[in-house]
Structure 1
Amino acid sequence: MEDLTIEITEEMAGVRIDKAVSSIDEDWSRSQIANWVKDGAVKVNGETVKPNYKVRLDDVIIVSPPLLEELDVVPEDLDLEITYEDADVLVVNKPRGMVVHPAPGHANGTLVNGLMFHCNDLSGINGVARPGIVHRIDKDTSGLLMVAKNDMAHTSLVDQLVKKTVTRKYVALVHGHIPHDKGTIEAPIGRDSKDRQKMAVIDKGKHAVTHFRVLERFGNFTLVECRLETGRTHQIRVHMKYIGFPLVGDPKYGPKKTMDIGGQALHAEVIGFDHPRTGEYLEFSAEPPAEFAELLESLREKD
């Protein structure tokens, strides 16, 4: 993994070094980063610092994440919820809180660890740390992912993603009362120039399109279905914030005063694609997890 450079902005000044670095990648834990700091893998202005160091405006931080060794990626019986499977593809319902693939700080307990236990025939295009992984969803987003079991399937599914023929629908609970029943957000997404740990709508960003429709309203909250036309990093979270309706519970893009539900209220509910071998269109759906449903029910009772 290449070194990462972070320049501290006014918004970041004063936080601990481990917190500043952890917000770069949701797959990195603060405890792991603290160990990197101790081992000299994180330097500030070219110098090593202590884990309790508080970053200052204009500090330049260089992060050199240690490489994930092949032997670290081991099969684990994680009792995955497999929605569909054949010789070429499988669809899995990822639980909230699970990282998709191994990374420094998350070598175990990932979806890939569970997939390797479930079956040993996964595509190798993405290397040892990401076998079979065609696309990903954030750690605290639950829902459906398609997985390739061989290179032929992998190439086909990636091609469908590029051609925007894959159906990807999410349900999200957002802050605010959306007055219109549906809409389309077409706004380019790239690295936030003021805070490189976030994505944002910027002029030089990559083309990004999200279609949404309102499913239910609860006073100052709205339940929406979001259909991805493109698949940029944090796309739904960034786009909904951009139009003034950030996701409930989102620690990165939500308001400071939001529900503490352990992450954004976002679930990948529907995935649809053409089967790589037969060409038949397949579509699958999964209900939001129990805690999501309970949150909605509590809002209905208050409304």
Structure 2
Amino acid sequence: MREIIVNKNDGGRRLDRFLKIYFEKAPLSFIYKNLRKKNIVLNGKRAKPEDIIDEGDRIKLFLSEDTINKFKKDIKKSKNSKLPNILYEDEDIILVKKPVNMLTHNDISIYQDNALDRMVDYLIEKGEYSPRLEKSFRPAFVNRLDRNTSGILIGAKNLKTLQILNEAIKNREIKKYYITIVSGNVKSDFDVDINLVKTKNNVMKKSSDQGKRSITKFHVLKNRGGYSLLSVNLITGRTHQIRASLKEKNLFIIGDRKYGDDKANKIFIEKGLNSQFLHNYALVFESDKLKNLLGKKFIYLPGEKMMHIAEEIFDVNLGEILNEKNNF
């Protein structure tokens, strides 16, 4: 028999959802069968899948250790010891600077360096998170950036904060701003409001009646030499949203090898640009449930190579432009 005492990060979940995370390798049929046979009980009583667990509740598993260990989730250790580059941190939230050519989280069976594992390792080292004590919660990011898009990742250290941040994003109370350079002379601001669907080759395309609604606002900062410097306000957060939305306007981000223009890209690859010029440079928090952050904005400037290319094309100080209040 094994007893689990529910902690604060697990309270408020349905019992079956908690057990599905705890028994990561088990099918739901295994969980439902053992609840029905009373091999899993809650506070000494028969439990139902839909029961809501609270902090301090006791879940008893009348199962052999071999069975528990067979289905229990593994405590995964990353192979990376590098600390994340932190923009802001408090007891609940951490803002991490993600560079170009880093995954937000590992998404294949072969381990790759990623921002999430760096953040989790950092919190373990600080003593703010212990995977051996947590039964189902793991610190997480509430936004995602493509490997070749740099910017700010928003991390939640506990379940309550994760729920608040997810709600704030859903209610559009966290404003996300990007900087990009496109080939073409864009003369005025514009919005793109389309439905995007994913094709077989993982490319997002416009659809009239399918997919997810994607809303993006574009603000012109500078024009010069056949290129335009744009500030982007991401209203919704879809896969490849900015890149696909610009393509619908026949505008192509320099360096973008999936949606971009090969001829324009070649020029900048030769200049050392090894990714699309797309960077999430600012966040503005407007949720009254995030007391420490309400009304605050955070700015993270692009890397040195991007800064140099932008200043070479437009003959401007990009840092000064991105810090101006009228960009928000």
- TM-score for the superposition, normalised by structure 1: 0.69
Instruction: Give the number of the structure whose alpha-carbon radius of gyration is greater.
Output: 2
- Whether the 8 Å contact between 2:83 and 2:119 is mirrored in structure 1 is no
Q: Does 1:108 align with 2:112?
A: yes
| Alignment partners' CA distance in 1, 2:139 and 2:197 | 27
Q: Does 1:294 align with 2:294?
A: no
Letter in 2 for 1:292: M
| Alignment partners' CA distance in 2, 1:246 and 1:105 | 33
Local SS of the residue matching 1:207: strand
| Alignment partners' CA distance in 1, 2:234 and 2:309 | 24
Question: 1:216 aligns to what?
Answer: 222
Instruction: Tell me: CA distance 1:187–1:167, structure 2 relative to 1, closer, same or farther (3 Å).
Output: same
Identity of aligned residues (%): 26
Once the two structures are TM-superposed, the CA of residue 254 in structure 1 deviates from its matched residue by 0.4
- Whether the 8 Å contact between 2:222 and 2:314 is mirrored in structure 1 is no
- Whether the 8 Å contact between 1:89 and 1:149 is mirrored in structure 2 is yes
Q: Which of 139, 153, 161 is matched with 1:145 structurally?
A: 153
Q: Does 1:278 align with 2:291?
A: yes
- Whether the 8 Å contact between 2:216 and 2:232 is mirrored in structure 1 is yes
Instruction: Tell me: CA distance 1:196–1:282, structure 2 relative to 1, closer, same or farther (3 Å).
Output: same
1:74-112 Cα shifts (integer Å, max 9, x gaps): 263323221110110011111111101112165231101
Once the two structures are TM-superposed, the CA of residue 123 in structure 1 deviates from its matched residue by 11
Structure 2: give runs of 5+ residues left out of the alignment: 1-72, 316-328
Letter in 2 for 1:213: H
Q: Does 1:189 align with 2:196?
A: yes
Question: 2:102 aligns to what?
Answer: 98
Letter in 1 for 2:173: T
Once the two structures are TM-superposed, the CA of residue 276 in structure 1 deviates from its matched residue by 4.5
Letter in 2 for 1:242: E
Structure 1: give runs of 5+ residues left out of the alignment: 1-68
Local SS of the residue matching 1:167: strand
**TM alignment of 1:38-187, pairs within 5 A:** 70=74, 73-74=77-78, 76-104=80-108, 107-120=111-124, 121=128, 131-180=139-188, 182-187=189-194
| Alignment partners' CA distance in 2, 1:76 and 1:86 | 23
- Whether the 8 Å contact between 2:183 and 2:252 is mirrored in structure 1 is yes
How many residues end up aligned between the 2 structures? 228
Q: Which of 197, 202, 207 is matched with 2:207 structurally?
A: 202
- TM-score for the superposition, normalised by structure 2: 0.64
Once the two structures are TM-superposed, the CA of residue 300 in structure 1 deviates from its matched residue by 3.5
